[in-house]
Amino acid sequence: MPAHWMLARLGKRVMRPGGFEPSRRMIEQLAIDPGDDVVEMWPGLGRTTALALTGRPRSYVGVERGEAEAARARAELSGPDQRCIVAPAHRTGLPPDSASVLYGEALLTLEPHRRKVEIVAEAARLLRPDGRYGIHELLLTPDHLTENAKSEIQTVLTEVLRIGARPLTRTEWHRLLDDGGFTVRAEEACPLLLLDPRTVLSDEGIAGTVGVLARAIAHPEVLPRLTRIWRTFHRYRDNLGAITFTADRTGPARR
């Protein structure tokens, strides 16, 4: 089972590389208001969705991978112009220039480079000129990390997390956005905090954290896997982090 599914079944609601605080600040930077039409890629369990909807946007569309994921996201929606569709992130079928704000989290990290480019191009297609784009992804550090080191980290992460993990360095993330027709206006990097105890407590609360631990203890096969994931994150603590960007659509993607 992919690690994010396992964590979701244990009751973890926030599964972002840097925890919920970077997501909150990203949404603040996007400054969603009642005049906005918002598209969210992979809403997941809806924690960031709920935060974005406090800005009371004119419309909201979530784009999810499958019907089960979309059903969870729909539980957070209540307005007449709020919906969640099932479509590939690189080919949503939504009309061009239909959004003023678009964001996605822990999405691009899981895709190979060509698909990353396609997803960013789709974001540019959906956003109006000067539309705002936000991402929260896994970061490789330092910037001069060797190709062999990158390959090793990606291989180990994919094996441990049971899902493809292809993070980029800060410069590589910048290049992806620049080539996609975006101008970065804000960024924030932090350590990888997904399983940091203090971050888990902050993100899930006392009751949520106790619930996650209780479910993990109740399933003996889970604890060794959680330990292995934590040890992997600790082993590469100097090479893994989280990064958020907010950017403006300022031009067409470079082909």
H or E element: which one contains 33?
Answer: none
In Å, how far are 30, 197, 220, 222, 232 from 227, measured between CA atoms? 36, 13, 12, 9, 9
| Residue 253, φ and ψ in degrees, nearest 5 | -65, 145
Q: How confident is the model at residue 46 (pLDDT cuts 50, 70, 90)?
A: confident
pLDDT at residue number 211: 94
Residue 252 lies in a domain: no
pLDDT at residue number 65: 92
With a pLDDT cut of 70, the percent of the chain lying above it is 98
Residue 251 lies in a domain: no
pTM attached to this predicted model: 0.92
Residue 255 lies in a domain: no
Nearest to 39 by CA among 21, 57, 55, 18: 57
d(CA 166, CA 178): 19
Residue 63 lies in a domain: yes
Whether the per-residue pLDDT at 238 is higher than 70: the answer is yes
H or E element: which one contains 166?
Answer: none
Mean pLDDT for all residues in the chain: 93
pLDDT at residue number 45: 82
Beta strands 37-41 and 59-64, pairing class: parallel
Cis peptide before 57 (omega within 30 of 0): no
Residue 45 lies in a domain: yes
pLDDT at residue number 194: 87
pLDDT at residue number 253: 60
Number of CB atoms found within 10 A of residue 81's CB: 11
CA 138, chain centre distance (Å): 8
Residue 23 lies in a domain: yes
| Residue 39, φ and ψ in degrees, nearest 5 | -120, 130
Whether the per-residue pLDDT at 255 is higher than 60: the answer is no
Residue 226 lies in a domain: yes
pLDDT at residue number 1: 78
Residue 52 lies in a domain: yes
CATH code where residue 19 lies: 3.40.50.150
- pLDDT tens readout for residues 98-129: 999 999 999 999 999 999 999 999 999 999 99
Whether the per-residue pLDDT at 233 is higher than 60: the answer is yes
Q: What's the burial of 180, exposed, middle or buried (CB within 10 Å: 0-12/13-18/19+)?
A: buried
Task: Compute the average pLDDT of residues 192-216.
Answer: 92
Q: Are 68 and 36 in contact (CB under 8 A)?
A: no
Cis peptide before 142 (omega within 30 of 0): yes
Please give the tally of structural domains in the chain.
Answer: 1
- pLDDT tens readout for residues 70-82: 998 898 898 889 9
Number of CB atoms found within 10 A of residue 7's CB: 23
Q: How confident is the model at residue 164 (pLDDT cuts 50, 70, 90)?
A: confident
More confident residue, 181 or 16: 181
Domain of residue 17, residue span: 3-246
